[in-house]
Structures are given as structure tokens and as C-alpha cells.
Amino acid sequence: MEEALRIAVLIKQVPATENVKIDPETGVMIREGLEAEVNPLDLYALEEAVRIKEKFPHTRATAVTMGPPAADKAARYAIAMGCDEGVLVTDRAFAGSDTLATATVLSHALYRLGAFDLILTGERATDGETGQVGPAVGSLLGVPVLTFVSRLEILPNGRILAERAVEGGHERLSAPIPSLAVVVKEINVPRLCTLGGKLKGKKAEIRTLSFADLGLPRERVGLAGSPTKVVKVCYPQVTRKGRKVSAAEDFDGALEALETFLANVGAGGNPALPGAEEGEA
């Protein structure tokens, strides 16, 4: 492939915790006070872009993230990993966007940034977890969408060859350029950032795009552009009452408590285990 390729990688900044809390009143995630990181599943999309760049040196990889001003860190991380530039799409008007409004904003941002040959996204974000944004962006841009991509190749004729994981095997598909590919973690092993890369990311100028830059009607973004409403948030109730006995403080006591507990629930001895008949512990 001799011509210059342009790749966009969609990355989302997510809370660096699995313990995401939702505001019961608004149904919106509580992000305040949480450390943030690049969505771990987006690192595979970034790695794939950098690998294509290494194979086809004329390639330009642009990481695009929509989020609050602090999400510029995600764009800097993408540069530290090897992307050429980072774009932050940010505006108060985007607050409260559901997946449709998010995909609308991102697809317009990509359109404004110019013609991309390949758009890469992660499988899902570890906070929202819908997996809708990638395919929605592709469909709004009117480009073919390849999902669950576990291997990707740019063919000499400029087409894309993708392998996708399906039940019982793999499916091989070829698609034209431009296309959007949602990658899964089997595709590669994301690299760690080098010190030089981190410095490059830190110093990089991150281009920002605001609501005014996208030329979108206000009713298509934010809460106004979000048909999804969070009706109710429920947390699973833990009803089992447990009892903790610390073996660190009193090992024999803990062992005795466990034996008594197992005997009381009728699971005192397993005859299949050698010595269990004789009452060995």
C-alpha cells in the first residue's frame, strides 16, 4: 500500500475503577473524585493503529476522544503510544449525551477532521458498556462496520481483510476503504509507553473541537439529543449474612470455626477424600 493511510482511533476516558456509581436521581455516572484512564479495551485499537503505521510508514493515526477538558490526558496517552495527533471533542453542550448523541458528535467530528480510510474503536467502554458507539458512528458515517475483529490486514489493493470471532470459529471478511472496525482484545498485545513517548504526549498540542465547530443542531446533542432515559437504577441487595473469622490472628480458632460451620450445614466430611472417614482435617 503506497498511498498515505489515515486512521482515526476512537478512545474514551473512563474511571479507573470497576466500582462505578450511578446518581440515583439523574441516572448519570458519578465521575467526581475518580482517577481516569483510557478505556482498557481501546488500547487494542490504539496498538493496531500503531502497528499499521509501522508497516505503512506514510500512515497518520489520529486519536479522537469526546469528554470533559481533562480527557485531553487520553489523547496524550494515545500519542505516547505512537499516534501522530490527538483530538479532544469537548463542550458543555455535550453533557448528558447518550450513545446516540455521543455517536452523532463523534461522527460529525470525524467528518470535520477529514477523510479517514479506517476508523478503529474498542469493543465496549468499561463504564457504559453498551458497545453501541462504534457501530453507531460507522452507520452515521455510512461506512461498512466490521465488529469483533480479531485480525486486520490492509491488502495491497487497498481493501481491508478482517477476521472476526464467531461462534465455533472465525469468519474472514474483506471490506473497502473507508471502513470502521471494532476490535477485540485477541487482536494484539498493547505496548507500554516509552519514556520518550510519554514526553511527546505531555508536550503535544491537543486540538479541540467544540459544539460550534461541528455545525450540529443543539437538539441532536446532550440530553436534548438523547432518546435513552435512565428510568431507575437498582443495586443488587446482599441478603446473606456472613461471618468472618480471621486466620491471620488465630489460625487454629479459624480452622475450628470452619469445621463447626461445615458440620452444622451437613458438609462436615467428604468420604471421597483420603483420611476423611477417619476424621482427618
Ligand X SMILES: Cc1cc2nc3c(=O)[nH]c(=O)nc-3n(C[C@H](O)[C@H](O)[C@H](O)COP(=O)(O)OP(=O)(O)OC[C@H]3O[C@@H](n4cnc5c(N)ncnc54)[C@H](O)[C@@H]3O)c2cc1C
- With binding defined as CB under 6 A, does residue 12 bind ligand X? yes
Q: Taking a C-beta distance cutoff of 8 angstroms, is the pair 76, 21 a contact?
A: no
* Nearest to 112, CA basis, from 52, 66, 48, 45: 66
Per-residue cell: 247: 486466620
- With binding defined as CB under 6 A, does residue 65 bind ligand X? yes
| Minimum distance, C-beta of residue 189 to ligand X, in the bound complex (Å) | 17
Backbone dihedral angles phi then psi of residue 257, each to the nearest 5 degrees: -65, -40
CA separation for the pair 118, 61 (Å, rounded) = 10
- The contacts of residue 241 (CB under 8 Å, 6+ apart) are none
User: What track of x and - describes contact with ligand X for positions 66 through 105 (by CB under 6 A)?
Assistant: xx---------------------------xxxxx--x---
Position 15, amino acid: P
- With binding defined as CB under 6 A, does residue 39 bind ligand X? yes
By beta-carbon proximity to ligand X, the closer residue of 22 and 254 is 22
Instruction: Considering only the stretches 64-72, 143-151, 165-173, 202-210, report the one whose residues sit in contact with ligand X under the rule CB under 6 A.
Output: 64-72
CA separation for the pair 225, 219 (Å, rounded) = 5
Instruction: Considering only the stretches 38-46, 75-83, 160-168, 235-243, report the one whose residues sit in contact with ligand X under the rule CB under 6 A.
Output: 38-46
- With binding defined as CB under 6 A, does residue 122 bind ligand X? yes
Among 84, 85, 127, 186, binds ligand X (CB under 6 A): 127
Per-residue cell: 96: 448528558
Q: HSE of 118 in the Cβ direction (CA atoms, 13 Å)?
A: 30
User: What track of x and - describes contact with ligand X for positions 215 through 254 (by CB under 6 A)?
Assistant: -----------x-xxx------------------------
| Minimum distance, C-beta of residue 194 to ligand X, in the bound complex (Å) | 23
Q: Taking a C-beta distance cutoff of 8 angstroms, is the pair 256, 249 a contact?
A: no
CA separation for the pair 209, 197 (Å, rounded) = 24
Among 5, 36, 38, 42, binds ligand X (CB under 6 A): 42
Binding residues for ligand X (CB under 6 A): 10-12, 28, 39, 41-42, 65-67, 95-99, 102, 106, 121-122, 124-125, 127-134, 226, 228-230
